[in-house]
Amino acid sequence: MNRRSLSSIIILSMICFFACKEEKVIKQIPGLSDIPLDYTIYRFEDVLYGLDTTDLLTSIGEVERIHPAFSQIFFTQVLPTQDADSQFGFYDEIKKIIKYEPLKEIYDTVQRVFPDDTFFKKDLDDAFRRYKHYFPGENEPNIYTFVSNFRFQSFIFQENNRDGVALGLDLFLAPGFDYRKIDPTNPVFSDYTIPSYTKEQVPKRVIEQLLEDKMGQLNPGNKLIDHMLFFGKKIYLLSEILPRMDLSVINEYNTDQMAWCQNNEMETWAFLLEHELLYKSDNSTIAWYARPAPTSRNMPADSPGRAANFIGYKIVKTYMERFPETSFTDLINLRDGTEFLKNSKYKPPRK
């Protein structure tokens, strides 16, 4: 498996917005509720702050015995203890981290936003059953949550004979938490990234980790159309496995950005064709249209970044409507973007 580290105008506007939104059809799967689940959510941030700082040797040893795979990653890579040059230095670093007041404040905030697992467990249960339906033979992962002073949001790792997915809950606190105050100059905490830091993103991020592990990575030199379809497949698969989740959450857009993509599908497609962008493979083109950014280059100022990926999603959606017998595994394995586009016979809807 591939791994990755660590007043009237308002009313009219509302009518236009809702009229332009895609209808969300939830596919009913017979026997879905009968698919068994066997996973656990471990709140590792509680484990960290429950350590006995007077006897860390015993306390951490017990944690390592119960959770050997995740504890090794957490204590050596997630927490900033890499510079500890001895066992004594390691335990000293852990004590400092536990007593570090800013991190304790983050932990307290996480406890208020996520006092228990009920917020996301129901969504995860449904998502895991759908995931196992579409990918027969796969197991759902155990979930480990943690805090890391905004260093990691999520990652996947191997845990015995199954996957584990780790979630840094301190990067799922929006909109109630102002991430800009952390570092206003850091693009990681900019207006166009904050929609990916909401608590609604939690179940999506878990499934996304599983899908990314299956999909692997694009090869250097891939064309823009390949990137569009790579991300389009991911959006499509997420929308099928999490059918009750709004498309804006899946795309990590706010509602205005999502509405822009839906209302300007034909114009975006025409722009990509007119400027002959689909088959360009230079890094700048990929970054301008398929990667997170404040806007899509040379498109209207209110266009969101990654607008091309929405077209990729619509191409994939069109393909799957033409070939509904295509399994999700087969969809992932269709790698030739040019051939995929041709077979999809995609055409944006005319207004």
Q: What phi, psi does 132 have (nearest 5°)?
A: -70, -30
Whether residue 251 sits in one domain with residue 181? no
Whether residue 53 sits in one domain with residue 173? yes
Whether residue 243 sits in one domain with residue 152? no
Question: Two tokens at 256?
Answer: 């205005």
Domain closes at, from 139, 174, 202: 202
Whether residue 308 sits in one domain with residue 181? no
CA dist 42 to 67, 109, 166, 282, 347, Å? Answer: 10, 18, 9, 42, 46
pLDDT at 24: 63
Ordered strands of the 41-43 beta sheet: 41-43, 142-146, 162-168, 154-159
| pLDDT of 20 above 70 | no
* Confidence band of 26 (pLDDT split at 50, 70, 90): confident
Q: Which residue has 């595994």 as its token pair? A: 329
CB of 271 closer than 8 Å to CB of 299: yes
Whether residue 233 sits in one domain with residue 192? no
* Residue 74 belongs to a domain: yes
Whether residue 181 sits in one domain with residue 44? yes
Q: What is the pTM of this model?
A: 0.90
Predicted confidence (pLDDT) per residue in 322-338, tens digit: 999 999 999 999 999 99
Q: What phi, psi does 181 have (nearest 5°)?
A: -70, -15
Chain centre to alpha carbon of residue 171: 12
Q: Work out the percent of the chain whose per-residue pLDDT is above 90.
A: 82
Average pLDDT of the segment spanning 76-104: 87
Q: What phi, psi does 223 have (nearest 5°)?
A: -80, 165
Give the total number of structural domains in the chain: 2
* Residue 1 belongs to a domain: no
Mean pLDDT over each residue of the chain, to the nearest integer: 91
Whether residue 197 sits in one domain with residue 55? yes
Q: How far apart are CA 317 and CA 52, in angstroms?
A: 52
Whether residue 70 sits in one domain with residue 195? yes
Coil, strand, or helix at residue 156?
strand
Whether residue 166 sits in one domain with residue 198? yes
Whether residue 271 sits in one domain with residue 188? no
- DSSP letter at 150 equals S
3-state SS, 116-182, equals CCHHHHHHHHHHHHHHHHHCCCCCCCEEEEECCCCCCCEEEEEECCEEEEEEEHHHCCECCCCHHHC
Q: How far apart are CA 72 and CA 76, in angstroms?
A: 6
Whether residue 120 sits in one domain with residue 195? yes
* Residue 177 belongs to a domain: yes
Whether residue 181 sits in one domain with residue 49? yes
Average pLDDT of the segment spanning 91-116: 95
CB of 229 closer than 8 Å to CB of 337: yes
Average pLDDT of the segment spanning 195-221: 93
Decide which of 51 and 2 is more confident.
51
| pLDDT of 87 above 90 | no
Domain closes at, from 148, 167, 202: 202
Average pLDDT of the segment spanning 189-196: 91
Please report which residue ranges of the chain form alpha helices under DSSP H: 8-20, 44-49, 56-66, 68-73, 87-99, 101-113, 118-134, 201-215, 224-241, 247-251, 255-263, 265-274, 283-290, 307-322, 328-333, 337-344
* Confidence band of 23 (pLDDT split at 50, 70, 90): low
* Dihedral sign of CA atoms 200, 295, 8, 351 in order: negative
* Residue 23 belongs to a domain: no
Predicted confidence (pLDDT) per residue in 255-306, tens digit: 999 999 999 999 999 999 999 999 999 999 999 999 999 999 999 999 999 9
The parent domain of residue 152 ranges over 40-202
* Residue 21 belongs to a domain: no
| pLDDT of 16 above 70 | no
